[in-house]
Amino acid sequence: MFIDHPGVDWPQFLRLRDLYQLLDEWPDPRPKVLLEIGCGDGLLSSSLADYFEKVVPTEINPRATFPSLIKADAQKLPFSGNSFDAIFSSNVLEHIVDLDACLNELYRVSTNDVTMVHTMPTIWWKSLQFITHPMHLSRSLVRKFRRRRTHSPACNSRQVSTNRSDRSLTSTLKPTIHGVSKSHLDEFGSFKTNWWESRFNSNGFIVVKKTELFFHSPYRLFPYKFMKVRNALAKTYFPCVTAYWVKKKVRN
């Protein structure tokens, strides 16, 4: 499937592009009921609803409201056991504090033949966060300088705006930790493929397949440009997001 980008911003474009690649790979027959963990603004939920018979989107802190949304914590899901034969999340699991509790809940609410697909950033994405940060910082400084030139010192409201931009700039002086890791070093470790495979395995699942997704930096650099190059990099050595196709190991 192909997604045209007019009217869709760069982060949304990336999320939709990755999703449609995964939907193209989803084996038949299609599962009937899919649980979405961390649906955010519901952007992917509507696309999933075109593919599956029923989609149950959940989010602990929704960024939008829509009729089918269920406010729920992935560490304690409000569903009975064996309710879902498909589970999906997009860059969510790395933000969950108690990952083991979440995976145990996913095991509980899923059927024995469930197919789970979870996308997560890779160490290449984390590396790009540091490699491209000087470019991001330079761009932020230029924007800050331009804003100051257009602000009048006599206007208090504009001064408040400038102070806020100063705080925003301070937060860009160094890369931020993306997920719930305590340090960048820990996050490098937790973004490794074998780390995720080990966590799934220790909680009753097995990774049966991995799909390498789009190459991009964390800072929205050069949106919609170099698409063929990005795709080639993702398919060779530098995927920035990996999708893990996970099946359930039936416990005795």
pLDDT band at 250 (very low <50, low <70, confident <90, very high): confident
pLDDT score at 6:
60
Give start and end residues of each alpha helix (H) in 32-74.
43-49
> For the chain, how long is the longest CA-to-CA vector?
73
Tell me the per-residue pLDDT of 65-89, one tens digit each, with 9 for 90 and over: 888 999 999 999 999 999 999 999 9
> Which of helix, strand or coil describes residue 22?
helix
Q: Report in angstroms the alpha-carbon separations of 60 from 16, 134, 197.
A: 21, 34, 25
d(CA 30, CA 247): 15
State the average pLDDT for the chain: 88
pLDDT score at 3:
56
Residue 198 CA, distance from chain mean position: 20
Give start and end residues of each alpha helix (H) in 33-132.
43-49, 99-109, 123-131
> Tokens 């649980």 identify what position?
35
Does the pLDDT at position 125 exceed 90?
A: yes
> Which of helix, strand or coil describes residue 147?
helix
Does the pLDDT at position 93 exceed 50?
A: yes
Quote the DSSP letter at residue 50: T
Does the pLDDT at position 97 exceed 60?
A: yes
Question: Residue 198: in which H helix or E strand, if any?
Answer: helix 193-202
For residue 152, the number of C-alpha atoms closer than 13 Å in the C-beta half-sphere is 4
Tell me the per-residue pLDDT of 126-166, one tens digit each, with 9 for 90 and over: 999 999 999 888 887 887 777 777 765 554 544 444 444 45
d(CA 44, CA 240): 19
Is the model more confident about 169 or about 84?
A: 84
Give start and end residues of each alpha helix (H) in 4-132.
10-25, 43-49, 99-109, 123-131
The reply to whether omega before 29 is within 30° of 0 (cis) is yes
Q: Report in angstroms the alpha-carbon separations of 219 from 86, 185, 192.
A: 32, 20, 21
**Do residues 119 and 245 touch, judged by C-beta distance below 8 A?**
no
Task: Kindly report which listed range (102-106, 135-139, 186-190, 199-203) carries the lowest average pLDDT score.
Answer: 135-139
